[in-house]
Chains A and B, each alone.
Chain A
Amino acid sequence: MNPPPPATAPAAGPAGRRGPRSLQGRLLAGLLGAVLVVWGATAAVTWQDARHELDELLDGHLAQAAALLVAQQARAGEHDGPALDAPQLHRYAPRVAFQVWHAGRLALRSDNAPATPMVDAAALAGMPLQPRLDRRGDRDGRDSHHRRGTAADDDDRAHDTTRDRRGHADDRAGASAGAAVDGFRLGFHSVVLDGTAWRVFAAQGAEQDLRVFVGEQQRSRTDILLAVLRSTLWPLALGLPLLGAVVWWVVRQGTAPLRRLAQQLARRAPSDLSPLPTDGLPAEMAAPATALNGLFARIAGMVAAERRFTADAAHELRTPIAAIRTQAQVALAASDDDERRHALRATLAGCDRATRLVEQLLTLSRLEAGDAPPRAPVDLAALARRVLGELAPAALARRQQLGLDAPEGGCRVDGNETLLAVLLRNLVDNALRYSPDGAEVRVALAAPPGGGLRLTVDDAGPGLSDADRQRLGERFFRVLGTAQPGSGLGWSIVRRIAAAHGATVAVDRSAALGGLAVEVAWPAPR
Chain B
Amino acid sequence: MRILLAEDDPLLGDGLRAGLRQAGFQVDWVRDGAAAERELRAQPYAAAVLDLGLPLMDGMDVLAAVRRAGVTLPVLVLTARDAVPDRIRGLDAGADDYVVKPIDLDELAARLRALVRRAHGQPQETLQAQGVRLDPAGRSVTRDGQPVALSAREFDLLHALLLNAGRVLSREQLEQHLYAWGREVESNAVEVHVHHLRKKLGAELIQTVRGVGYLLPRDGPAP
B67 vs chain A, min Cβ distance (A):
23
| Cα A323 to Cα B18 with chains together (Å) | 12
A 341-357 contacts with B by CB, 8 A: 342-343, 346, 349-350, 353
Which residue of B12, B56, B80 is within 8 Å of A326 (Cβ)?
B12
B 104-120 contacts with A by CB, 8 A: 104-106
Which residue of B55, B83, B100 is within 8 Å of A318 (Cβ)?
B100
Q: Are B32 and A330 in contact (CB under 8 A)?
A: no
B13 vs chain A, min Cβ distance (A):
8
Residue A110 lies at the interface, judged by CB distance under 8 Å to chain B: no
A153 vs chain B, min Cβ distance (A):
97
Residue A450 lies at the interface, judged by CB distance under 8 Å to chain B: no
B38 vs chain A, min Cβ distance (A):
15
Which residue of B10, B19, B80, B83 is within 8 Å of A316 (Cβ)?
B80
Residue A320 lies at the interface, judged by CB distance under 8 Å to chain B: yes
Q: Are B102 and A321 in contact (CB under 8 A)?
A: yes
Q: Are A322 and B32 in contact (CB under 8 A)?
A: no
Residue B14 lies at the interface, judged by CB distance under 8 Å to chain A: yes
User: Which residue on chain B has the smallest CB distance to residue A317?
Assistant: B80
Q: Are A326 and B16 in contact (CB under 8 A)?
A: yes
User: Which residue on chain B has the smallest CB distance to residue A482?
Assistant: B55
| Cα A323 to Cα B56 with chains together (Å) | 21
Q: Are B80 and A349 in contact (CB under 8 A)?
A: no
Q: Are B32 and A481 in contact (CB under 8 A)?
A: yes
A 285-311 contacts with B by CB, 8 A: 311
**Inside 8 A of A320's CB, which chain B residues have their CB?**
9, 11-12
B 5-56 contacts with A by CB, 8 A: 9-12, 14-16, 18-19, 22, 31-32, 55-56
Residue A49 lies at the interface, judged by CB distance under 8 Å to chain B: no
Q: Are B101 and A318 in contact (CB under 8 A)?
A: yes
Q: Are B105 and A346 in contact (CB under 8 A)?
A: no
Contact with A along B49-70 (1 / 0, CB 8 A): 0000001100000000000000
User: Which residue on chain B has the smallest CB distance to residue A327?
Assistant: B15
**Inside 8 A of B82's CB, which chain A residues have their CB?**
314-315, 318
Which residue of A315, A346, A353, A482 is within 8 Å of B15 (Cβ)?
A346
B83 vs chain A, min Cβ distance (A):
7
**Inside 8 A of A318's CB, which chain B residues have their CB?**
80, 82, 100-102
**Inside 8 A of B83's CB, which chain A residues have their CB?**
311
Q: How many residues of A contact B (CB 8 A)?
A: 31
Q: Are B14 and A346 in contact (CB under 8 A)?
A: yes
Q: Are B22 and A323 in contact (CB under 8 A)?
A: no
Q: Are B102 and A315 in contact (CB under 8 A)?
A: no
User: Which residue on chain A has the smallest CB distance to residue B10?
Assistant: A485
The residue among B32, B55, B56 with the most chain A CB atoms within 10 A of its own CB is B55
A467 vs chain B, min Cβ distance (A):
13
Q: A315-B81, A319-B12 are in contact. Are A480 and B55 (CB under 8 A)?
A: yes
B21 vs chain A, min Cβ distance (A):
9
Q: A311-B83, A321-B102, A322-B103 are in contact. Are A353 and B11 (CB under 8 A)?
A: yes
**Inside 8 A of B80's CB, which chain A residues have their CB?**
314-316, 318-319, 322
User: Which residue on chain B has the smallest CB distance to residue A480?
Assistant: B55
User: Which residue on chain A has the smallest CB distance to residue B105?
Assistant: A329
Residue A325 lies at the interface, judged by CB distance under 8 Å to chain B: yes
Q: Are B15 and A485 in contact (CB under 8 A)?
A: no
User: Which residue on chain B has the smallest CB distance to residue A484?
Assistant: B10
**Inside 8 A of B103's CB, which chain A residues have their CB?**
322, 325-326
Q: A353-B11, A485-B9 are in contact. Are A326 and B105 (CB under 8 A)?
A: yes
| Cα A343 to Cα B83 with chains together (Å) | 30
Which residue of A334, A342, A353, A485 is within 8 Å of B22 (Cβ)?
A334
B58 vs chain A, min Cβ distance (A):
10
**Inside 8 A of A326's CB, which chain B residues have their CB?**
12, 15-16, 19, 102-103, 105
Q: A318-B101, A322-B102 are in contact. Are A330 and B11 (CB under 8 A)?
A: no
Q: Are B11 and A485 in contact (CB under 8 A)?
A: yes
Q: Are A323 and B105 in contact (CB under 8 A)?
A: no
Is chain A's interface secondary structure helix, strand, loop, or mixed overall?
A: helix
- Chain B: number of interface residues, binned into ranges: 20 to 34
Which residue of A314, A315, A329 is within 8 Å of B19 (Cβ)?
A329
Q: Are A330 and B19 in contact (CB under 8 A)?
A: yes
**Inside 8 A of A330's CB, which chain B residues have their CB?**
15, 18-19, 22, 105
A485 vs chain B, min Cβ distance (A):
6
| Cα A321 to Cα B104 with chains together (Å) | 11
**Inside 8 A of A342's CB, which chain B residues have their CB?**
18
| Cα A321 to Cα B101 with chains together (Å) | 8
Q: A319-B80, A485-B10 are in contact. Are A333 and B19 (CB under 8 A)?
A: yes
A432 vs chain B, min Cβ distance (A):
17
User: Which residue on chain A has the smallest CB distance to residue B23?
Assistant: A333
Q: Are B56 and A480 in contact (CB under 8 A)?
A: yes
B109 vs chain A, min Cβ distance (A):
11
Q: Are B32 and A325 in contact (CB under 8 A)?
A: no
Q: Are A327 and B11 in contact (CB under 8 A)?
A: yes
Q: Are B12 and A323 in contact (CB under 8 A)?
A: yes
Q: Are A349 and B104 in contact (CB under 8 A)?
A: no
**Inside 8 A of A321's CB, which chain B residues have their CB?**
101-102
**Inside 8 A of A319's CB, which chain B residues have their CB?**
9, 12, 80, 101
User: Which residue on chain A has the smallest CB distance to residue B103?
Assistant: A322
Q: A311-B83, A318-B80, A485-B10 are in contact. Are A329 and B104 (CB under 8 A)?
A: yes
A310 vs chain B, min Cβ distance (A):
11
| Cα A327 to Cα B15 with chains together (Å) | 5
Q: Are B102 and A483 in contact (CB under 8 A)?
A: no
| Cα A189 to Cα B81 with chains together (Å) | 109
**Inside 8 A of A140's CB, which chain B residues have their CB?**
none
| Cα A325 to Cα B19 with chains together (Å) | 11
Residue A339 lies at the interface, judged by CB distance under 8 Å to chain B: yes
| Cα A330 to Cα B25 with chains together (Å) | 14
Q: Are B10 and A483 in contact (CB under 8 A)?
A: yes
Q: Are A346 and B11 in contact (CB under 8 A)?
A: yes
A341 vs chain B, min Cβ distance (A):
12
**Inside 8 A of A350's CB, which chain B residues have their CB?**
11-12
**Inside 8 A of A346's CB, which chain B residues have their CB?**
11, 14-15
Q: Are A343 and B102 in contact (CB under 8 A)?
A: no
A228 vs chain B, min Cβ distance (A):
85
Mind listing 22 A-B residue pairs with CB under 8 Å?
A: A320-B9, A322-B80, A322-B103, A323-B9, A323-B12, A324-B11, A326-B103, A329-B104, A329-B105, A330-B18, A330-B105, A333-B22, A334-B18, A334-B22, A342-B18, A343-B15, A346-B15, A353-B11, A480-B56, A481-B56, A485-B9, A485-B11
Of all A-B residue pairs in the complex, the 9 with the closest CB atoms, nearest first, are A326-B15, A322-B102, A480-B55, A322-B101, A318-B80, A323-B12, A323-B11, A327-B15, A318-B101
10 further contact pairs, Cβ within 8 A, besides A318-B80, A330-B22: A314-B82, A319-B101, A320-B9, A323-B9, A327-B18, A329-B104, A334-B18, A343-B18, A346-B11, A480-B56
